Amino acid sequence: MSEHGEGGVHGIDRIRARKTLGEILAVAASFEASARDFYTGLIPRVSKRIRYLVEELAEEEARHHELFSDLAARGDIAAQLRARVETPASDTRFSDCIQVPELGPAPDDQAILQYALGREQAAMEQYRSLAGSVEPGPVRELFEFLAEEETRHKAELEKIYYEIVHSGGV
């Protein structure tokens, strides 16, 4: 049997590198839920200077979680959710972001912003890659929408980060 054939080592790796779209949506929902909970828990502990931002991040992540939950519950895409798709190269980094850091009782503004920037980058890469790997329709549209939204969020966070770090505030 050829090592490169479907039953060979590389074929098995290709099969392992595929997940159902439903599994991917479940991970994405967990990603968004962990961010929502993380930011919500930070609100009373962050400086007043970025409290509004952490509140906005918690609301955005809650909205993203709801979008994934609503999509996963749709009966009209049940067959598509069972389809296996190529797992993006960014999947491990994205999945790792479900684990959130412990920032202590008085988290540093810069550490919060760095963490948020990393999450936005991971989400942007993951959603963009997934949008390119699924069939046209509501799932692709959601991934495209979220990839663009995460791109905008990252740009906004970079601007705030620059203002805080370079204003001597950190």
* pLDDT tens profile 9-67: 444 444 445 688 888 888 889 889 999 999 999 999 999 989 999 999 999 999 999 99
- Number of domains comprising the chain: 1
Q: Is residue 74 part of a domain?
A: yes
Name the pTM for this structure: 0.76
Alpha helices in the chain (DSSP H): 9-16, 21-42, 48-72, 78-82, 91-96, 109-133, 138-166
Q: Is residue 11 part of a domain?
A: no
Q: Is residue 9 part of a domain?
A: no
Q: Is residue 2 part of a domain?
A: no
In terms of residue numbers, what domain contains 86?
21-166
CATH of the domain at 132: 1.20.1260.10
Give φ, ψ of 90 to 5 degrees.
Answer: -80, 0
